[in-house]
Amino acid sequence: MSQTDKPTAEPLVRIRDLVYSRGERRIFDGIDIDIQRGKLTAIMGPSGTGKTTLLRLIGGQLRPDSGTVWVDGESVPQLNYRQLYELRKRMGMLFQNGALLTDLNVFDNVAFPLREHTRLNEALIRDLVLMKLQAVGLRGARDLMPSELSGGMARRVALARAIALDPMMIMYDEPFTGQDPISMGVLVTLLRTLTDALGLTSVMVSHDVQESLSIADYVYVISEGRVVEDGTPDTLRASTSPWVQQFLQGLSDGPVPFHFPAADYAEDLLGKTVESSR
């Protein structure tokens, strides 16, 4: 992985030599990632490569086996309970399904972090909540319950909740998965404008190639526990790696074979390999 073409400013998140295993399976096998301040960084890879796990490692919900995770100058795995919760007040995370609190309506969901962490009076909280809801275009939906929202709306409410405390960074877990084209477009625009307008640092985990490449400033591609390629969307498109090309273009066969490893087809059908396979 080349270090030369990266910006030189101190990154907000710095991951070095990260190793993480779940049971027998090694999810990350020594990855290095830098998330630059004020930029939108996309982390892409096939399903099951532990992209969500990476966000949980950054947020301190999981501890790495070895390696370092620095967020804003603090080493996340070494923080104690109180320091970790202080750090999380400056982070937002958007979960795949929004993860709204189902017993609260939209307004109270967005107000939740404000009520938990500030001593603002209700009038001020009301103003702040309406501003955040206006930013995601759902001021009119404030009285709905989460069960009455569509998937895209739920994600936008969750986004309003994530920016309620004006964090320095937001992590998006698969923000586009399962969206219709319109709400996908809305979310793509929102992610970009929020990053620019609020000066947020955004980290997005996704396998939606076109949407991610269209808005990201910098992209990491992860596969089998390693960073296989990183760069701006343009350098990625020009990549010579056949694996990256297969992933970006969504080809069914290539370095990642269509077939799960198996014995020879003809022999298998004739039943000759029952005893002799392997």
Question: Which residues sit at the interface with another protein, rule CB under 8 A?
Answer: 59, 61, 85-86, 88-89, 91-93, 95-97, 99-102, 112-113, 116-117, 158, 161, 165
Nearest distance in Å: CB 113, another protein:
5
Closest separation between CB of residue 84 and another protein, Å? 8
The two structure tokens encoding residue 68:
């370092």
- Rounded Cα–Cα distance for residues 193 and 135 (Å): 10
> How many Cβ atoms from other residues are within 10 Å of residue 101's Cβ?
11
Question: Measured from the CB atom, is 117 or 272 closer to another protein?
Answer: 117
Cβ neighbours, 10 Å, residue 150: 11
Nearer to another protein, 100 or 184 (CB): 100
Tell the smallest beta-carbon distance from residue 223 to another protein (Å): 25
Q: Smallest gap, in angstroms, from Cβ of residue 278 to another protein?
A: 25
Q: Which is nearer to another protein, 9 or 101 (CB)?
A: 101
* CA distance linking residue 28 with residue 88, whole number of Å: 23
Residue placing its CB nearer to another protein in the complex, 88 or 132: 88
Looking at the Cβ atoms of 52 and 223, the one nearer to another protein is 52
Least distance CB 168 / another protein (angstroms)? 13
